[in-house]
Amino acid sequence: MPHGGILVAISLLLEQLLNALALAGLLFLVSAGLSLVFGILRVVNFAHGVFYMLGAYLGFTVVALTGWFWPALVIVPPVVGLVGAVLESSTLRFIYRRLPIYQLLLTFGLALILEESIRVLYGPTAKGVDPPPLLQGSIPLGAIVYPRYRLFLVVLGLVVGAAVWLFLKRTRTGLVIRAVAQNAEMADCLGADVARVRTLVFGAACALAGLGGVAAAPMTTAYLGMGIGVIVDAFVVVVIGGLGSIPGSMAGSLIVGAAQTWGAYYLPETAMVIMYAVMGAILIFRPWGLFGEEE
Amino acid sequence: MRRREFLATATVSGAALAVGAPVFLRRAYAQNPIKIGLPTVLSGGNAQYGIQAKRASELFAKDIKGKGILGRPVEFIYEDTGADPATAVRKAQKLVEKDGVKFLTGTVLSSEALAVSAKCPEWKVILMSTINGAGALTAKSFNRYFFRVNTSGPMGARAVSLYLAEGPMKRLFALGSDYAWGRDSVASFSAQIEAAKKEVVGKEYPPVGTKDFASYIAKVRQSKAEGVYLVLVGQDATIFLKQAHQFGLTKDVKPIMEIVELENMKAVGDAMEGTIGSSRYPFTVDTPKNHAFVKRFHDMHGVYPDMFDGETYEGLEWLAQVIQKAGTADDVEKVIEAWEDSSYEGLEGPFFMRKCDHQAVQPGFAVQAVKDPKYPHLIPKILATFPGDKVTPKCRTEEFS
């Protein structure tokens, strides 16, 4: 440490830790939905990142119209979820039985259509969103100051993660969803409305991505291409954590968040590679991911 | 089934007629247009630049409507490269071989321009850069079919360095996007800042598309730099400035940008106020020609022209002047000869096309983002104007004397 002092050293480590946690919080909101959709619908959803982007742009719209950030955080996720549910029931529903390549093509097409629609509607300029007044500025932590908004992202990721996990484990609907994930045909025989469960899960996953987008907007602005950027990271998270597992998404987000922020800090020349190197290492020992189940 | 087949056929032919007829009519009306092809970025994160090239082309097309070039109408053909060099080459090839284009422009990323430029001697077409910054294009990778009308990265770095050389800042950090333009410009900036007896205390190259700059912000802060030189591609610059502001970094470390763009000012907002840097074309340049241009542009598009709107317009106008002078738009060799060592009065001042490396010598600007109640966003205020010979590197190099 060039500027001495044990307090400084600890503060700098704390800053790195918080940086990783804040990024992990955002990544979790996106990857949780991607993981759920794969676990339950068996679809690799390329359009998932675009729902994140849609969330950010709608968040910008609500903030621009009302002047408030909090309503955006509440209104936008259900709206994005509704868009997702409508798209699932009008397109994806009809090709679950087809080869996976059809689903890839379809979701990729949806991603392109949505992204270009956003470009046509909002234009190419990135849209800045200010954090709510409560979360503006930074607070002192030891020898550093840290942006309040990033601390909020850490908390948001944790709260949403806990809520999703409890919902799946402790509620009746959660039980049905897990049943469909395990064996859709059997669940169907036992009276579960599989089509409805799928629409619900797809919508909920999109809502989570939308929430991630709203939450990301003050940090990254809403911009074209943000969906593509995030989906790559989210795939890595899901592969590391295990497809379909919520705790897996949490663990994966932490690992990718740490690999990206610490990589950029300590080994900048290899920052791009580290995330994939970690993924490769994990796949060698657990090809089904940290929390995934062997198939 | 027969009825359905009929309907399908009818719909398809109807659509074909609707789309095809105007094209056919246009051909008949204007039998031999001069075609300018833009393999540019129209989708994804870098679309803002392609859209600037397109906006400028649309205004230019309107301005020369009626008289054309050599009495021939001008036709623009746009292709989306998706910011990928391989696709850029493919789209450029389509423009050249299928559409018969002799003039290419609008390439957005330097990596795309390097790839397309390398093919131009084989295709015998001109690539006119109005956006691409990488110094190599007019140095190491130069070929005579490439012309750069815009200020290059090293030239921007030079204008900023000349401005900083007079200022009080001693310790600077350089942050460049990890590709041709970012690395080129950081190298150029470092060399000049050190020549001015100042210190570059750190250099980092974040990947294009970085969405979290927290680690880089921490490094800049720890370096105790007084200023941070940014060579970040559009969106990345916006995100960096936003986050640096949230971290409170900009209170102690002044952001200095190689290109101060309206796009960034609109997206970052007031947090960018006070940022200094260079601009390849600040729309606030005080020349009669520019005032008229800004007005025409605003009337047509409803926004103020950004850097590449201005630079692309200048390129097109100059190209038209050169074709006029050569007396042909079909003999590319003659157009090249007419362009070499020729002068042009641009929006921002006098331009001169050097024969030795086809880099346009032109004024350089140091600007600052300031508030002005007359405009809906921050605007670039010109702090200093440097004459072309001060900011243009030695022939076919990235070095300055």
A259 touches chain B (CB under 8 A): no
- Residue B17 has a pLDDT of 40
Query: Inter-chain contact A125–B267, Cβ cutoff 8 Å?
Result: yes
Residues in chain B: 401
Contacts of the segment B352-356: beta carbons below 8 A, 24+ positions apart: B352/B388, B353/B147, B353/B318, B354/B392, B354/B395, B356/B395, B356/B396
Nearest to A81 by CA among A271, A240, A211: A211
The model carries a pTM of 0.87
- Residue A4 has a pLDDT of 58
Inter-axis angle of helices B47-63 and B288-301, nearest 10: 110
Q: In this structure, what DSSP letter does residue B259 have?
A: S
Mark which residues 134-173 of A lie under 8 Å from B by CB.
Answer: 137-138, 145-147, 149-150
Q: Give the start-to-end residue ranges of the domains of chain B.
A: 32-150+286-362, 154-279+365-391
By Cβ distance, the residue of A19, A124, A224 closest to B214 is A19
Tell me the C-alpha distance between A52 and A206, whole Å: 8
Common-topology check for domains B32-150+286-362 and B154-279+365-391: yes
Q: Closest residue of A to B178, CA-based? A: A269
For residue A221, which residues of chain B lie inside 8 Å, CB to CB?
235, 238-239, 242, 267-268
A221 touches chain B (CB under 8 A): yes
A262 touches chain B (CB under 8 A): yes
Residues in chain A: 295
Query: Inter-chain contact B47–A150, Cβ cutoff 8 Å?
Result: no
Residue B53 has which token pair? 């090239």
Query: Inter-chain contact B214–A150, Cβ cutoff 8 Å?
Result: yes
Query: Inter-chain contact B211–A221, Cβ cutoff 8 Å?
Result: no
Residue A142 has which token pair? 């030891």
Instruction: Please provide the CATH number assigned to the domain covering B32-150+286-362.
Output: 3.40.50.2300
φ/ψ of residue B359, rounded to 5: -95, 130
- Residue A295 has a pLDDT of 65
For residue A269, which residues of chain B lie inside 8 Å, CB to CB?
205
Q: Closest residue of B to A226, CA-based? A: B45
Tell me the C-alpha distance between B343 and B360, whole Å: 9
For residue A19, which residues of chain B lie inside 8 Å, CB to CB?
212, 214-215, 218
Tell me the C-alpha distance between B256 and B262, whole Å: 15
Q: How remote is the C-alpha of B287 from its chain's centroid?
A: 21
DSSP chain A: -TT--HHHHHHHHHHHHHHHHHHHHHHHHHHHHHHHHHHHH----TTHHHHHHHHHHHHHHHHHHHS-SHHHHHHHHHHHHHHHHHHHHHTGGGGTTS-HHHHHHHHHHHHHHHHHHHHHHH-SS-B--PPPGGG-SEEEETTEEEEHHHHHHHHHHHHHHHHHHHHHHHSHHHHHHHHHHH-HHHHHHTT--HHHHHHHHHHHHHHHHHHHHHHHHHHH-B-TTHHHHHHHHHHHHHHHH-TT-HHHHHHHHHHHHHHHHHHHHH-GGGHHHHHHHHHHHHHHH-TT-SS----
Query: Inter-chain contact A119–B47, Cβ cutoff 8 Å?
Result: yes
A247 touches chain B (CB under 8 A): no
Q: In this structure, what DSSP letter does residue B295 have?
A: H
- Residue B43 has a pLDDT of 84
B245 touches chain A (CB under 8 A): no
Cα–Cα–Cα angle for A154, A160, A164, rounded to 5 degrees? 150
Assembly ipTM: 0.89
Residue A142 makes CB contacts below 8 A (sequence gap 6+) with A7, A8, A10, A11, A14
Residue B309 makes CB contacts below 8 A (sequence gap 6+) with B52, B55, B56, B281, B283, B297
Query: B176 has which bridge partners?
Result: B231
Tell me the C-alpha distance between B334 and B327, whole Å: 8
Selected for mutation to probe chain A from B205, B212, B249, B264 (highest A CB count within 10 Å) is B212
Selected for mutation to probe chain B from A13, A220, A228 (highest B CB count within 10 Å) is A220
B222 touches chain A (CB under 8 A): yes
A2 touches chain B (CB under 8 A): yes
- Residue A3 has a pLDDT of 52
B243 touches chain A (CB under 8 A): yes
Q: Closest residue of B to A127, CA-based? A: B267
Query: B368 has which bridge partners?
Result: B276, B381
Query: Inter-chain contact A12–B218, Cβ cutoff 8 Å?
Result: yes
B376 touches chain A (CB under 8 A): no
Q: What type of residue is B101? A: V
Shortest distance between the Cα of A97 and any Cα of chain B, in A, equals: 26
By Cβ distance, the residue of B51, B212, B215 closest to A124 is B51
- B352 burial (CB, 10 Å; 0-12 / 13-18 / 19+) is middle
A116 touches chain B (CB under 8 A): yes
Mark which residues 148-207 of B lie under 8 Å from A by CB.
Answer: 204-207
For residue B44, which residues of chain A lie inside 8 Å, CB to CB?
115, 224-225, 228
Query: Inter-chain contact B246–A223, Cβ cutoff 8 Å?
Result: no
Tokens 């295990």 belong to A242
Mark which residues 41-100 of A lie under 8 Å from B by CB.
Answer: none
Query: Inter-chain contact B246–A147, Cβ cutoff 8 Å?
Result: yes
For residue B249, which residues of chain A lie inside 8 Å, CB to CB?
none
Query: Inter-chain contact B218–A265, Cβ cutoff 8 Å?
Result: yes
Shortest distance between the Cα of A221 and any Cα of chain B, in A, equals: 7
B270 touches chain A (CB under 8 A): no
For residue A128, which residues of chain B lie inside 8 Å, CB to CB?
238, 242, 266-269
Tokens 């190689």 belong to B258
Interface size A-B, in CB pairs within 8 Å, comes to 118
Domains of chain A: 6-285 (1.10.3470)
For residue B182, which residues of chain A lie inside 8 Å, CB to CB?
none
How many CB atoms within 10 Å of residue B199?
15
Query: Inter-chain contact B47–A224, Cβ cutoff 8 Å?
Result: yes
Could you tell me the fold of the domain covering B154-279+365-391? Rossmann fold (3.40.50)
Q: Which residues of chain B have pLDDT under 50?
A: 1-3, 5-30
For residue B243, which residues of chain A lie inside 8 Å, CB to CB?
147, 219-220
Q: Which residues of chain A have pLDDT under 70?
A: 1-4, 295
